[in-house]
């Protein structure tokens, strides 16, 4: 089987859609669970996405990858399903409110890594972040789900959401800080040492850290050069990302996969 994400536009739908289903069905199901909050709606999202992909396959021109094209269909379906009601307030914290202050403290590793608390914390963190994702403003929710849970690139996300990569980056960074603030509520802390750096230096280091996360590379400044509070900020961002990645690992239910595959083989997906 060829790489499903690189399918040629000339590939017949009967061949292309099953490949896309096998490659991305589980990830789309995970996307649905994060956005919809229940299994039935997540299954409906997968079925709607692949039904639409089948119906529109002759419109796929190959200018973007098949993966990007498929996730565009899924993301637009998600947005339709979860469009805010008219007049519904948009709760977006200011950047300043999301940055750590001296009173925040730093995570206490002696408690965090003590068994069985570490296992409890992982479970608690997953539950907290799952709820927090559902409550994020959609403009911030979609970028963080597509990047830190689904593993797409900023360019792919920009194509899917029809916004510039710079806009994706801004929204993604804000969303990470919002999720980090939620995660931190479950983490035991102790007072932080006084930082020798100005707030401006800490902000610059935070930007470097975020961009390293965007590229999937290590932070380029050795930990020994960081003040304790800056290092704790970076570690809790990593913890938030790791929890996000863990909640994106879902298996598409066999009955959903089998139903769609049989329909593809019979050329009988609804139109």
CA dihedral (223, 178, 77, 124) in degrees, to 10, reads 80
Q: What is the CATH number of domain 108-247?
A: 1.10.10.10
Q: Between 84 and 263, where is the model more confident?
A: 263
pLDDT surpassing 90 at residue 176: yes
Write the DSSP string, 26-86: HHHHHHHHHHH-SHHHHHHHHHHHHHHHHHHGGG--SSS-HHHHHHHHHHHHHHHHTPPPT
**What is the reported pLDDT for 150?**
84
Rounded CA separation 129/244 (Å): 7
pLDDT for 151? 85
**For residues 191 and 189, what is the distance between their CA atoms, to the nearest angstrom?**
7
pLDDT at 165 (0 to 100): 93
pLDDT of 138 over the 90 cut: no
Across residues 236-253, what is the average pLDDT? 84
- CA–CA separation, 15 vs 177, rounded Å? 42
Q: Is a pLDDT exceeding 80 seen at residue 201?
A: yes
* pLDDT value of residue 256: 92
Q: Which class does domain 4-83+251-266 fall in?
A: mainly alpha
Q: Which of 12-21, 99-108, 217-226 has the highest mean pLDDT?
A: 12-21
- Quote the CA–CA distance of 35 and 32 in Å, as a whole number: 5
Half-sphere exposure of 239 (CA within 13 A, CB side): 28
Domain ranges within the chain, ordered by starting residue = 4-83+251-266, 108-247
Determine the pLDDT at residue 224: 59
Task: Give the per-residue pLDDT at 117.
Answer: 46
């Amino acid at each position: 089987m060829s790489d499903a994400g690189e399918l040629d536009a000339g590939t017949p739908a009967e061949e292309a859609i099953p490949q896309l289903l096998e490659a991305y069905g589980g990830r789309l199901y995970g996307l649905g669970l994060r956005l919809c909050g229940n299994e039935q709606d997540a299954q409906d999202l997968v079925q709607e996405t692949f039904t639409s992909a089948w119906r529109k396959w002759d419109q796929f021109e190959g200018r973007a990858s098949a993966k990007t094209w498929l996730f565009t269909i899924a993301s637009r379906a998600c947005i339709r399903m979860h469009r805010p009601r008219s007049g519904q307030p948009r709760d977006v914290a200011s950047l300043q409110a999301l940055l750590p202050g001296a009173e925040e403290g730093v995570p206490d590793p002696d408690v965090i890594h003590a068994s069985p608390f570490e296992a409890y914390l992982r479970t608690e963190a997953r539950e907290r972040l799952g709820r927090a994702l559902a409550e994020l403003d959609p403009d911030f929710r979609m970028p963080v789900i597509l990047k830190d849970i689904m593993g797409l690139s900023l360019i792919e996300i920009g194509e899917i959401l029809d916004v510039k990569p710079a806009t994706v980056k801004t929204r993604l960074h804000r969303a990470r800080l919002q999720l980090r603030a939620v995660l931190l509520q479950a983490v035991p802390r102790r007072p932080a040492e006084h930082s020798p750096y100005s707030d401006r230096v800490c902000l610059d280091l935070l930007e470097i850290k975020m961009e390293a996360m965007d590229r999937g590379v290590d932070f380029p400044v050795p930990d020994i050069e960081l003040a304790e509070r800056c290092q704790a900020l970076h570690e809790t961002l990593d913890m938030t990302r790791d929890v996000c990645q863990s909640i994106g690992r879902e298996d598409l239910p066999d009955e959903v996969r089998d139903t769609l595959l049989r329909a593809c083989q019979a050329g009988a997906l609804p139109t």
